[in-house]
Structure 1
């Protein structure tokens, strides 16, 4: 027996979400073509500013109690790409959890500035602290074996021959159609994202193995290592982050007998100072990105603070080779 749809049923039909997350307009369905939001778009380009125009980061104000196993007291953490953006906020999370930190960045001046800001923030928010963390700044090109080796020796010399945690946040992305990607740019992208992760991990592993000490490594991948971002074309970056994710799994197995855990964090779209600057000039791109995220918003850098502390600390002693996706549900839709 046929029943006339109720008003609420009709409303649900009209607002049935497309696969992309956008809603089909009631008045003019022809304006949205099938699959139009599930393709890369060569007209989408993201222009990254020059180094001198890159925005700096500022500390996030948050102090809460937590489980003792999350404490990083007595540990030294090295964070590559820690002078800005996600690396900066994750360095702050490690410091607030008790660790000393070594910020490694291509821009040495920005690394010095970041270390000073984080130290000041700690003192301002913990005026009665018994101990003030040691935060050092270092400059290195993570794509260069010689530079990585030298900077790790420098870090060890300034932190009592001590490294317990490595976070590899150095990386960048670009948008080119695959057939137009300049080969030298692709080599640079792979050099920083993949070679940089590998080289830093190997140097820290050599130290830990020689010292017969356990350690934790957290590689910063991306949801791009599991899915294809749209609408911007970025095939080499996606492949590079897939390599980082699998490198974490492979090294986790290889170094497990030495007590070295290796995990990966794969962030989704994050509103860093740089991303905000880009999206202010591309509001339509932001709308497309957020339309594909089940939580309906882009992530904030501080959304990674708990994740990195968890994987760096003893709270995750039985976790290795894992990929923790922090993406608002993007990759499960």
Structure 2
């Protein structure tokens, strides 16, 4: 009974930022659970390479090029995969970017706008587009990808724009969850710590960052993307059917101190 609730056979999932890292591992996790997966990202070559890796394992995978900062493109994607008898049952709004260490007073307008546009606006455009169809069917599960940086202000790096964007994703998640709960659509978020992905690894190799990060992490290690993907699978499946508006920390204990 309980393992069955984690199965996704007969369901279709759309995942943004799926070419690598957390997005790729989440695509693999959901496909392993039986879902048909639509992997989306901005650039074709790495996306197709990632999809081919999963297809070689026998998984049902499609791809779609998507810039989540374009609201019309998000709407078009939702229309494409929800019309003509098809439907998307699960949305993993994973696409996100970080930025170089910049003091708040030195953050330029373009950098601020870019981080907020991808991390917050892109998440909302996708939730709105795919959530509209889920509401019509009165069923669906959405998982946004926030960050422990939505709870704490990181050190030693300065990243006010990233922190603000992820805190906003958490509250967006709660707001959507409250609006949509009685119409059959659940919205939850995962909030990772420093994850062993290409986005984090450049900084993690510098001792002036990594030493302080590990000092503040009770588990004394970075989290693997598969560990975040496992939580995404749980939140996307019926195993979490009683949850909505939750922000689940996967932070190696960072926020307990």
Question: What TM-score do the two structures reach when normalised by structure 1?
Answer: 0.74
Residue 91 (structure 1) aligned with residue 42 (structure 2):
no
TM superposition shift of 1:160: 4.5
Divergent runs of 4+, >4 A: none
Distance 1:287 1:178 in 2: 23
Unaligned runs of 5+ in 2: none
Q: Output the aligned Cα RMSD.
A: 1.5
Structure-to-structure mapping, 1:1-333, within 5 angstroms = 67-120=3-56, 122-123=57-58, 133-156=59-82, 160-174=85-99, 175-210=101-136, 212-280=137-205, 282-333=206-257
CA-to-aligned-CA distance 1:191-249 (integer Å, 9 cap, x gap): 10000010100111111122x23100000000000000000000111011000001100
TM superposition shift of 1:155: 3.1
Distance 2:188 2:144 in 1: 6
TM superposition shift of 1:306: 2.0
Structure with greater helix percent? 2
CA-to-aligned-CA distance 1:226-273 (integer Å, 9 cap, x gap): 000000000111011000001100100101121000001000011113
Unaligned runs of 5+ in 1: 1-65, 124-132
SS at match of 1:167: strand
Q: Which moved more, 1:228-237 or 1:267-276?
A: 267-276
TM superposition shift of 1:291: 1.0
Question: What TM-score do the two structures reach when normalised by structure 2?
Answer: 0.95
Distance 1:137 1:283 in 2: 38
CA-to-aligned-CA distance 1:154-202 (integer Å, 9 cap, x gap): 3336x95210000111011112111111101111111100000101001
* Aligned pairs, number: 255
